[in-house]
Structure 1
Amino acid sequence: MPEGHTIHRLAQRHKQLLVGAPVRASSPQGRFEAGAAALDGLVLRDTDAHGKHLFHDYGDRWLHVHLGLYGTFVDGAGEPPAPRGQIRLLLTGGGETPAWAELRGPTACEVLDDPGRDALLARLGPDPLRADAEPDRAWARIGRSRTSIGALLMRQDVLSGVGNVYRAEALFRAGIDPYRPGRDVSVEEWTAVWDDLVLLMTDGVRVGRILTLRPEDAERDPELPSRQDRGAGRYVYHRANRPCRICGTPVRTAVVEGRNLFWCPSCQK
């Protein structure tokens, strides 16, 4: 599932391509015909992201998209390619500079009014990529919970935008055992994790992928970052049974919150 940095990149990309001009909206697949009709011809005023949720602002209504496990949003300048496959939503516009975006397979694709969007946002935790984020809201949940910190970081009502990769890497960088109950994490440790997530996720928006090695560790990394090796450029994620980059202990894995967690039992005591 795309993590928060990907959705923020999409919001930035759609702002560059489509904001400020009327948008033609259609549903070649046919499953979003009513929603597309409600947006067709409106001016896209702005784009936004909160965690894993993407929003297009059309004035008195919002397009809300959650990609989920299988959704993809592809875009480009110029005229769109001929429709192929199951396109839930096709947007074209861009004013004098034509552009397009096509959405396939999302978990959610809907038109919301202001109260509907407000209700959705009220259910989400703070997003480390947002300037208006309030990390104390997440700490209020984490600091009194018996649930493991590894599970809490995956819950979007606690913290928005953090997924499996950022969870594993941020906890490793902080030296925190993912099975430690949230209430046993100190406020200083939580602050350090939050600040690190802000740093890592901001870098993710900038470069378009998750690379978490500190500069001194990246310099001696024998594995060049590769999209074929999902463990390259990272400390523990997708490195089960491979030696920890710091201490050499085999990295362990287990399923937590329905996803494979990775950690070093020596560095994360």
Structure 2
Amino acid sequence: MSMVELDKSAKRLLSGKTPFFASTFDPRFSFCLYIPAAHKFNGTRLPLLVAVHGTRRNVGGMINHLKTFSEKQGIAVLCPLFPAGIIEPTDLHNYKNIIYHDIRFDHILLAMLEQAAGIWSIETGRFFLHGFSGGGQFAHRFLYLYPYRLLGVSIGAPGSITLPVTDHLWPKGVSNIDELFGVAVDWEAIVRVPVQVIVGEKDTETEMLSGDGGSRVARAKKLFEELTRIGCVRCELEVVENVAHNGLQCLASVEGWVIKIGFTA
């Protein structure tokens, strides 16, 4: 997509922490970015980290915590907002399984990236993806669908997990991905993606969780074991000491992992 022409005032307003932008693909959804000072609108495209919120949709907290990392590393950050109450007024979980009624949240995110690439000089062909809690559910499911788009994926404390197995239907397994999403699982591509599975040491409450699997710590470990089993040689498990279910307190570890992987993985 070609870049839009912007005057100096617009460039100032579109640098640093940006306003929220409605998705032109579906205006029910929106996104914001943090654009570091290293960015030049007609310059080299900066690497990108997409950070997906949890159920409480604390996008502002994620952006505020990531802005120093963005400035130091020269990496842009994009945070989508998938509001609660889409279609069903009390729904909180719509984006987590990627598909919800007739909404494809993978398509929505990809459209946001295309829209952003038309404004900012950022690399959207391949990017880092991080999500925590509900965002962690989205992130690892996105991996199964689009491994070729990811420089790496950081999966934070998912409350439910989709295992890389073909004897369960989505979202427990991947046996019917082709039917649901129109794509086949590319195992060779999946196992090449660097993966971080991260969870707080004290994230042991189960009251809000459904199904079998124990705590988020247990579920994170199970997902890590299964990804390792299928051959993800660059898969890491990090259990953050003295942290419960708090995504912001895990971000420093996510940042360190991204730096270690490098922006051209």
TM-score band, normalised by the shorter chain? under 0.3
The TM-score with structure 2 as length reference comes to 0.24
The structure that has the greater radius of gyration is: 1
